[in-house]
Amino acid sequence: MSKVLFVIGTGTDMGKTYVSGLMVKKLRESGSSAAYYKAAMSGNERSGDGSLIPGDACFVKEASGISQPLEEMCPYIYETAVSPHLASRIEGNPVRMEVVLEGFRRVLSSYEYITLEGSGGILCPICFDEGELWLPDVIKACGAGCLLVADAGLGTINSVGLTAFYMKEHGIPLKGIIFNHYQPGNVMQEDNLNMCEHLTGVKVVACVQEGDTELRISAEDLKRLYDLTDGNPSE
């Protein structure tokens, strides 16, 4: 049975895609069938023929070495570098939950471990004008627990704490935290790690340094983070 884990961030540009690529790579190298899925991608460039290139999906595919086709990875791709609800207001083609889940179910039927990636932070609006849809709605519909990516630097105690508090209040399981841009020996960052664990009761499962090409967590420990639910999306 497929297992799923949703990668979210304390905000935008926290390194969710970078970390997702390392996670998928670790799973593939362990011999598992691994895939990536993201409901909506914004801020994408156009190819020579005018079609949009799913940048996050391309990065994960190249970084991880998986054979999953790009067209399986994301049903909604936008050019404008704003949240999906505003990108679709500008460009058209608003995100619909039934389309997101249809693509997700296809991935579930073909792969053992599915790494999902969110857009922005936990309160990112995915659709608004054609009916409200927020990132937590997508997470719950996919039946996933979450891994939180946070910058290791100044301000992370507040952003991690508020994100974890919101998730707890809304019944969204937080399975672990990953610190990005981590500098070993940095007293503030090491204290941030300890304080975030104390504040949330959730373990920092790995720290990612600049230029890392491997995730510092065993494949077995990584796989355990995917074990929360049965991976079946809600109807």
Domains and CATH numbers, the chain: 3-224 (3.40.50.300)
Identify the pLDDT of residue 235. Answer: 43
Tokens at 100, concatenated: 């997101």
At residue 86, the pLDDT reads: 98
Identify the burial level of 34 via C-beta atoms within 10 angstroms of its C-beta, where 0-12 means exposed, 13-18 middle and 19 or more buried: buried
Q: What is the DSSP string of 83-111?
A: -HHHHHHHHS----HHHHHHHHHHHHTT-
* pTM for the full predicted model: 0.94
What is the rounded CA–CA span in Å between residue 9 and residue 135?
A: 11
Helix/strand/coil percentages in the chain, nearest 5: 35, 20, 40
d(C-alpha 188, C-alpha 190), whole Å = 5
Split the chain (235 residues) into runs of 10 and give each run's mean pLDDT.
Answer: 95 96 98 98 95 97 97 97 97 97 97 97 95 97 97 98 98 98 98 98 98 97 82 45
In angstroms, rounded to a whole number, what is the distance separating the alpha carbons of residues 217 and 227?
16
- 22 phi and psi angles, rounded to 5 deg: -65, -40
Pick from 18, 25, 8, 10: nearest CA to 211: 18
CA dist 103 to 10, 170, 171, Å? 26, 25, 24
Q: Give the pLDDT score at 228.
A: 66
What pLDDT, on a 0 to 100 scale, did the predictor assign at position 130?
87
Structure token digits, residue 64:
């991880």
CA distance 188 to 1: 42
Enumerate residues 6+ apart whose C-beta is below 8 A from 161: 196, 199, 200
Q: Is 197 exposed, middle or buried (0-12, 13-18, 19+ CB in 10 A)?
A: middle
**Which are the catalytic amino acids?**
38
